Amino acid sequence: MTTEIYLDGNATSAVLPAAIDAALDIMGSRFGNPSSTHGAGLKAKAVLDQARACAVRLLGVGDGRLMFNSGATEGIQTSVLSALSALRERRLKGEAIGSLLIYGATEHKAVPESLAHWNHLLGLNLTLQKLPVDGDGAHDLATLRRLAGDAALVCTMAANNETGVVTDLAGIEAVLADTGSGAYWMVDCVQALGKLQLQLSSTRIDYAPFSGHKLYAPKGIGMLYVRAGAPFTPLIMGGGQESGQRSGTENMAGIAALGVVLAALERGDTFRGHAELCGFRARLADSLRAALPGVVFNHAFDKSLPTTLNFSVPGLSSRELMDVFDAAQVRVSAGSACSSAKAAPSYVLDAMGVPLWRSAGAIRMSFGPLADEATIAAACERIERCGAALRASCLIPSERTAVPHDGLLQLGVEGACSWMVLDAASRGCVVIDPLPDAVARIESYVRCQNYQVLAIVSTLPNAGRGMLIDALGRHFDRHAEADEYGWPAASQPLTLENGAVVGAIRIGAQTLAKLACGAGDELRAYLLGAADGDRLPAASVRFAFSARPAQQALRAVSVEQTLLCPTRDEHNQFCTSLTAQASTPLHADAHLDSAGLDAFLQAHPDAVLIDVREAYEFAATIAQDRAGRIAQSVPLSRLAEHASAWLRGKQAPLVFFCRSGNRSVKAAQCLRRLGHQHSYSLTGGLALS
Ligand code: PLP
């Protein structure tokens, strides 16, 4: 159960074991240069020739060209350069050429970027024209028909990398033929290799780039098909390798490995066929439907490769889904791999007219034709595990009431934050500064843990509580009287350290007191602590919630251990204190790597391991002990609550870790800033340990 399940086949694949053997053989024994005429060179050349012959047969290259190169990005450059150079020459000779460089709206970025680059560099100044797609991701053939007469080059991929949507190449070919278009035609075949039958020379396709690493060959090896008679200009000049079409000593290890993959495809005894792959997709889809209520698939299965599922889940961002899958060691990607880090909306789904929440929250799950029964079964189990983890954390609806969380919760939305004070024993809670974008989260949290919201207060007057009140329904008494900050009329008097008498409400054993501050008392701060009768001594104030300008007013009523919880947190500081130091980069000695961690834990038996990933990631995690020590789960959203206790305790060393090391650095920085000098971060996180 602890092994990784790799479901990101459209990004890249593992290398076929027989292909690894072939690459090792080339690097170890048959290492000759295929251009050398001695025996070692001839042996290498035989491997090269064999791989090419296999590709020629498999792809139906006919009398066209088939050259090896570094991958599809290079193949796309060569195709575009070849077509545009020919267009330029024709124009210089006075021939009429089309004015449009047409490319599908869902093409891989390599295509429009190359078109723009070479169009500029060659001084052609043709117009780049996106060809729209419909809701299923199919190219708009009516638009193509309208534009084809003025097209100089048309680029349409064979299958999409994000959705697996298969292009109607025959339909495009018919439009180009009907309209008598003289345009060159490039078809990016990267995702089609091994999944769609291709007989290239029997089509009108001029250029077809391929990439080895999408189908069990290593990275850095690819192929380019060029139709017989289509213009060709080498991208790389030099020693004349590949018949002068692509100079540079060949990547023989890559070619040998790709040759093995192509031979396996040709034999038909290694990879699974369409029907079996459709069966695997159906099982994964069923598991997703069962585990993630409301899941929506962003493409029609009957129009897509059987190896790709692209889906979105209401209420969940792609980051959250990625994180929970990664915790369960299921590797998927958010939208396209290139934009995963940014989690920007997918331009592919945008082009299909998919609503923004789905395009920004999309996950791609993809596998290759080597996928096996056991992996799919294990993936289905882990999908269920992820669903359970998300349900327990109230991120997706559940029939059962979840175990209630207790203490303080920070909900951040683009630099602003809402806070929730939760008392599990009494199931009472208070919401401070409810952000409109956090309403859905707060509501599902309250409902799924069956909390009663005692008050919804804000640090500014008339800050807008209506949306949350409407969403909460029976979990909040909307008729209870409150002032323009949401503070309940039914509050009790409480005396603070400076003698001021203020209003207070009880949340279980805790007391929340309001404090007017700011020049005209227009701002509110809220103090949280355990009252002593009708007094709240400064030393008992654990937390103070306020906008930054109001923090000075807290000096007279709190102590240096009181944690200040801000209404804005642009720099992920989580909380601060009146004596906190300025934020500085974490000192080098606070970074522990995986090897250093074991030594550190041995030297510090009292050290506490703290997993700062979200609770659903912790719950979905497969293996979670280190040197026999179980980590404590303290998501960053609950860091303030725990920081308060760590600062007041005996200050044992704290070792924070997360998935990749980003969040743990922030946690360690926060604790050091607050004065806990024994705070450390595991560099590289769980991914490297
Ligand atoms: N085209 C498509 C459809 C792809 O999926 C990719 C890879 O992500 C590329 C082109 C670029 O391929 P390579 O990594 O071989 O340069």
How many whole angstroms separate alpha carbon 494 and alpha carbon 486? 18
Average pLDDT rounded to a whole number, residues 614-635: 83
Quickly list H helices, 461-560.
Answer: 466-472
Q: Whose CA is nearest to atom 7 of ligand 1?
A: 11
Residue 521's pLDDT is 82
364 lines ligand 1 (CB under 6 A): no
CB hemisphere CA count around 668 (13 angstroms): 29
pLDDT of res. 294: 95
Residue 324: is it exposed, middle or buried by C-beta count within 10 angstroms (0-12/13-18/19+)? buried
Closest-CA residue, ligand 1 atom 13, reads 72
Which region holds residue 299: left if phi is over 0, alpha if psi is between -120 and 50, else beta?
Answer: beta
pLDDT at 402 over 90: no
Residue closest by Cα to atom 8 of ligand 1 = 11
- Alpha carbon 126 to its chain centroid, in Å, reads 35
- What local confidence, expressed as pLDDT, does residue 520 receive? 80
Smallest CA separation from ligand 1 atom 16, residue: 73
- Taking the CA atoms of residue 69, residue 70, residue 75 and residue 81 in that order, the dihedral angle to the nearest 10 degrees is -90
Q: What's the rounded mean pLDDT across residues 258-267? A: 98
Distances (CA, A) of 311 to 295, 301, 346, 392: 7, 11, 12, 21
Residue 218 CB–ligand 1 contact under 6 Å: no
186 Cα: distance to centroid of ligand 1 (angstroms): 14
Q: What is the DSSP letter of 52?
A: H
List CB contacts of 272: < 8 A, sequence separation 6 or more.
Answer: 280, 369, 370, 371
Two tokens, residue 489: 């009329």
Contact between 140 and 133 under an 8 Å Cβ cutoff? The reply is yes
pLDDT of residue 2: 58
Name, in order, each residue with C-beta under 8 angstroms of 557's C-beta and a sequence gap of 6 or more. 496, 497, 498, 500, 515, 527, 536, 538, 541
444 membership: H or E segment, kind and range = helix 439-448
Q: 439: helix, coil or strand?
A: helix
Residue 336 has pLDDT above 60, yes or no: no
Using a 6 Å cutoff on CB, does residue 222 contact ligand 1?
yes
Task: State whether residue 96 is helix, strand or coil.
Answer: coil
Distance CA 136, CA 304 (A): 9
Per-residue confidence (pLDDT) for residue 119, from 0 to 100: 98
CA–CA separation, 463 and 434 (whole Å)? 9
In whole angstroms, what is the distance from residue 342 CA to residue 360 CA?
A: 10
Tell me how far CA of residue 48 lies from CA of 40, 67, 214, 256, 299, in angstroms. 13, 11, 20, 7, 39
Q: What is the pLDDT of residues 200-247, one digit of tens each?
A: 999 999 999 999 999 999 999 999 999 999 999 999 999 999 999 999
If one residue of 161, 304, 348 were mutated to test the ligand 1 pocket, choosing by the most ligand atoms within 8 A of its CB, it would be 161
Pocket of ligand 1 contains residue 69 by CB under 6 Å: no
Question: The tokens 């007017």 sit on which residue?
Answer: 516
Alpha-carbon dihedral sign for residues 563, 565, 566, 572: positive
Helix axes 373-392, 318-327, angle to 10 degrees: 120
Tens-digit pLDDT profile for residues 132-147: 999 999 999 999 999 9
Percent of the chain at pLDDT > 90 equals 84
Q: How many CB atoms lie within 10 A of CB 63?
A: 9
**Which residues are registered as beta bridge partners of 310?**
364
Per-residue model confidence (pLDDT) at position 339:
43
Residues assigned a catalytic role: 338
Q: What is the pLDDT of residues 34-71, one digit of tens each?
A: 999 999 999 999 999 999 999 999 999 999 999 999 99
Distance CA 556, CA 510 (A): 20
Mutation probe of ligand 1 site: the residue of 13, 108, 166, 339 with most atoms within 8 A of C-beta: 108
Pairing of strands 523-529, 333-334: unpaired
The Cα 219–Cα 221 span in angstroms is 6
- Judge contact between 449 and 442, C-beta under 8 A: no
Query: Which residues lie closer than 8 Å to 131 by C-beta, 6 or more apart?
Result: 102, 103, 104, 105, 139, 140, 143, 144, 147, 154, 156
Q: Provide mean pLDDT across the span 435-458.
A: 93
Which among 156, 190, 193 is the best mutation to test ligand 1's pocket, defined by most ligand atoms within 8 Å of the CB? 190
Task: Give the Cα separation of 517 and 523 in Å (integer).
Answer: 5
Q: What is the pLDDT of residue 681?
A: 96
Per residue in 571-609, pLDDT tens?
888 999 988 877 777 888 899 998 889 899 999 999 999
**Residue indicated by tokens 């308060």:** 644
Q: Is the pLDDT of residue 342 over 60?
A: no
Q: pLDDT of 19-30, one tens digit each?
A: 999 999 999 999
* pLDDT of residue 341 exceeding 50: no
Element holding 322 (H helix, E strand): helix 318-327
List pLDDT tens digits, range 65-100.
999 999 999 999 999 999 999 999 999 999 999 999
Q: What is the dihedral of CA 526, 527, 533, 535, to 10 degrees?
A: -100
Residue 296 and residue 358 in contact, taking contact as beta carbons nearer than 8 Å:
yes
Nearest atom of ligand 1 to the alpha carbon of 212: 15
pLDDT for 522: 87
pLDDT in tens, 512-550: 999 998 778 889 999 999 999 999 999 999 999 998 888
Mean pLDDT (whole number) for 435-454? 93
Q: Does 344 score more than 90 pLDDT?
A: no
In 3-state terms, what secondary structure has residue 122?
A: coil
Mean pLDDT of the chain: 94
Q: Find the 215 Cα to ligand 1 centroid distance in Å.
A: 11
Distance CA 554, CA 73 (A): 59
Find the 32 Cα to ligand 1 centroid distance in Å.
29
Exposure class string for 588-625: b at 16+ Cβ within 10 A, else e: eebbbeeeebeebbeeeeebbbbbbbbbbbbbbbeeee
* 514 Rama sector, left if φ>0, alpha if ψ -120 to 50, beta otherwise: beta
Residue 424 in this model has a pLDDT that exceeds 60 = yes
Q: How many residues make up the chain in this entry?
A: 689
pLDDT for 68 equals 98
Q: What pLDDT score does 337 carry?
A: 46
Q: Apex CA 620: angle with CA 616 and CA 622, to 5°? A: 150
Choose among 279, 307, 286: nearest CA to 373: 279
Q: Which helix (H) or strand (E) holds 312?
A: strand 308-312
pLDDT at 340: 44
Q: Count the neighbouring beta carbons within 10 Å of the beta carbon of residue 88.
A: 17
Q: What share of the chain is helix, strand, coil (3-state, %, to 5)?
A: 35, 20, 40
* Amino acid letter for position 456: I
Q: Is 511 in the pocket of ligand 1 (CB under 6 A)?
A: no
Cβ of 167 closer than 6 Å to ligand 1, yes or no, is no
Q: What pLDDT is recorded for position 627? A: 62
Q: What is the mean pLDDT of residues 259-287?
A: 97
Please give the single-letter amino acid code of residue 505: I
CA-nearest of 140, 135, 264, 156 to 207 is 156
Give helix 639-648 / helix 662-673 axis angle, nearest 10°: 40
pLDDT at 626: 63
Which tokens hold the place of 575? 């909380």
The single residue listed with the structure tokens 């459209």 is 10
Mean pLDDT of 631-640: 93
Which pTM does this prediction carry? 0.91
| Model confidence at 628: pLDDT above 50 | yes
- Using a 6 Å cutoff on CB, does residue 217 contact ligand 1? no
Question: H helices of 59-136, where?
Answer: 72-92, 110-121
Region 661-679: mean pLDDT is 93
The single-letter code of the amino acid at 150 is D
74 Cα: distance to centroid of ligand 1 (angstroms): 10
pLDDT of residue 505: 96
* Distance between Cα 209 and ligand 1 center (Å): 9
Question: Taking the alpha carbons of 387, 393, 394, 398 in that order, is the dihedral positive or negative?
Answer: positive
